[in-house]
Amino acid sequence: IFQVGYQKILTLTYVDKLIDDVHKEFRDKYRNEFQQKGTLALLNGTFDFKDDFTRLLREAEESSKTRAPVAMKTFEQSLKSQKTIKCMIETRGEKPKEKVKPKKNKGSKKEGIEVAAPGKAPVGEKQLPGAGDREELSKDEILQKNREEFFKRHMKAGERASKSPKPEAQKEKGKKPRVWDLGNSNAKIAVQLCESVAKKLEGKVMGTFTTVTSTVKQALQEALVQILQPQRRVDVLRDVMDAQRQHRPYVVTFCGVNGVGKSTNLAKISFWLIENGFSVLIAACDTFRAGAVEQLRTHTRRLNALHPPESHGGRTMVQLYEKGYGKDAAGIAMEAISYARNQGFDVVLVDTAGRMQDNAPLMTALAKLIAVNAPDLVLFVGEALVGNEAVDQLV
């Protein structure tokens, strides 16, 4: 049995190999005796293995020394510490260095260090003037010449840069980020709101248990509620009854962005008006989107199934007015209002095409529709879930 003890300050990397070698050597040396006498008979015997073990230990130590990793040089042993100004200046009596580093040109591949012949200069490199006479010059003269050469090189580089200016690097084309100045706020309205809150807080005495933050927040909330409060009363049923007394239909126009649900909300309001006993004429003024007229036709059929004419004295409660696609929306709305007045419909619901605020042609068409027909109520249909789609359309 061989027992090996590791010291804390010494790392023996050859221990495993030494144990294997000792095991093989001992087994090969005494194999015949083990086979003839048996292992149990030799337990109390003695074996002369000291010289062999010493030899194997010496071989393991020698092999570990040859394979030992190279130790890292200290800073004092490195070449960087030896590169001083004194060793870079060639003094009298020293041989010039044979190795010359070639100049690196932009766009060219890296080249190795070439050994220059004593009498010849490498191709593409300029030989410094007076390089062969440096041994005869003093240190001060060498320094003065080095300074002059340095300033000459920098002057030439500046002239080349002024003659041939570098073109500006082309920016990579890509999708512009979805960032707008001032975000989604109106600076003018924000300033007015802050001024109104400041005037409201002037001279206000704060309570004992109130903070400045809570007081300002409460004042801002009151100002926003005052701004968002409607300036006129909105009572659709009363307004429809007033229009009936004037023997004209009550006109409601729906507008909003694409896919927000204008036609769906129009059908819901139609159902609500029919439940309150008013007849509805739906004007299909969305002549741009494919399937818009068919969608309104389906809504009309479903509403008539829920409120058949038999339940209202033979009177059709909802009807669709459409002229197909590609027509003028303002003209279709005008014809629908005239048709509703002649047929005695109580309410006209005008469905328009979805549009974004930055789409000038569609916004102009919507302005024309409202200016020509003068609807009693304009409803903007908005929904939070349509925000991403609206951003995609703007970008």
CATH of the domain at 285: 3.40.50.300
283 and 370: one domain? yes
Query: Given 66, 81, 102, which residue is the final one in a domain?
Result: 66
Same domain, 216 and 312: no
Mean pLDDT of 376-389: 75
Decide: 15 and 4 in contact? Cβ < 8 Å. yes
If you ran DSSP here, which 8-state letter would residue 118 be given? S
Q: What is the largest CA-CA distance in the chain?
A: 133
* Backbone φ and ψ of 198, nearest 5°: -65, -40
For the chain, the average pLDDT equals 76
Burial class (CB in 10 A: 0-12, 13-18, 19+), 74: exposed
141 vs 1: which has the higher pLDDT: 141
Q: How far is CA 91 from CA 142, 209, 228, 390, in A?
A: 9, 85, 89, 77
| Residues 245 and 358 grouped into a single domain | yes
pLDDT grade for 276, boundaries at 50, 70 and 90: very high
The region, left, alpha or beta by phi > 0 then psi within -120 to 50, assigned to residue 110 is beta
Q: What phi and psi, each to the nearest 5 degrees, are found at residue 320? A: -105, 130
The residue that leads in pLDDT, 130 or 360, is 360
pLDDT at 167 over 80: no
List the structure tokens of 241: 């009854």
Strand order across the beta sheet in which 347-351 lies: 318-321, 280-284, 347-351, 250-256, 377-381
Confidence (pLDDT) at 230: 76
Structure tokens at 56: 């194997």
Residues 221 and 242 placed together within one structural domain of the fold: no
Band of residue 122 on the pLDDT scale cut at 50, 70, 90: very low
**Is 147 a domain residue?**
no
179 in a domain, yes or no? no
Inter-helix orientation angle 212-228/187-201, to 10°: 120
Q: Are residues 58 and 38 in the same domain?
A: yes
Instruction: Say if residue 217 is in the same domain as residue 297.
Output: no
Residue 14's pLDDT is what?
75
223 in the same domain as 359: no
Same domain, 223 and 341: no
Written as six digits, the tokens of 90 are: 């060639």
Q: For residue 280, what are its two tokens?
A: 């509805």
Domain with residue 24: its CATH number is 3.30.450.60
Q: Is 110 part of a structural domain of the chain?
A: no
User: Is residue 191 domain-shared with residue 277, that is, in the same domain?
Assistant: no
**Same-domain pairing of 384 and 293:** yes
CA–CA gap between residue 377 and residue 234 (Å, rounded): 9
In a domain, 300, yes or no: yes
Instruction: Name 213's Cβ contacts closer than 8 Å, sequence gap at least 6.
Output: none
Residue 99 lies in a domain: no
Residues 189-217, mean pLDDT to the nearest whole number:
86
Q: What is the mean pLDDT of residues 288-300?
A: 91
pLDDT value at residue 119: 46
Measured distance CA(277)–CA(205) in Å, rounded: 55
Q: Answer for the pair 282, 347: CB distance below 8 angstroms, yes or no.
A: no
Query: Which domain covers residue 221, as residue numbers?
Result: 185-200+212-227
Q: How far is the C-alpha of 395 from the C-alpha of 386, rounded, in Å?
A: 15
Residue 273 domain flag: yes
In a domain, 9, yes or no: no
Q: Are residues 221 and 343 in the same domain?
A: no
Angle at 46 between CA 41 and CA 49, to 5 degrees: 125
- Among 116-120, 175-179, 258-262, whose mean pLDDT is lowest? 116-120
What are the backbone angles phi and psi of residue 39, rounded to the nearest 5°? -70, -40
- Residue 7 within any structural domain of the chain: no
Confidence of residue 395 (pLDDT cuts 50, 70, 90): very low
Beta bridge partners of 283: 321, 350
Question: Does pLDDT of 192 surpass 60?
Answer: yes
pLDDT digits (tens, 9 = 90+) for 337-355: 999 999 999 999 999 988 7
Give the end of a domain, one of 48, 66, 84: 66
Give the chain's domain count: 3
pLDDT at 131: 47
What mean pLDDT comes out for the span 378-392? 69
Indicate the pTM of the whole model. 0.46
Mean pLDDT, rounded, for 15-19: 82
Residues 216 and 261 in one domain: no
pLDDT at 300 over 70: yes
pLDDT range class, residue 70, cuts 50, 70, 90: low
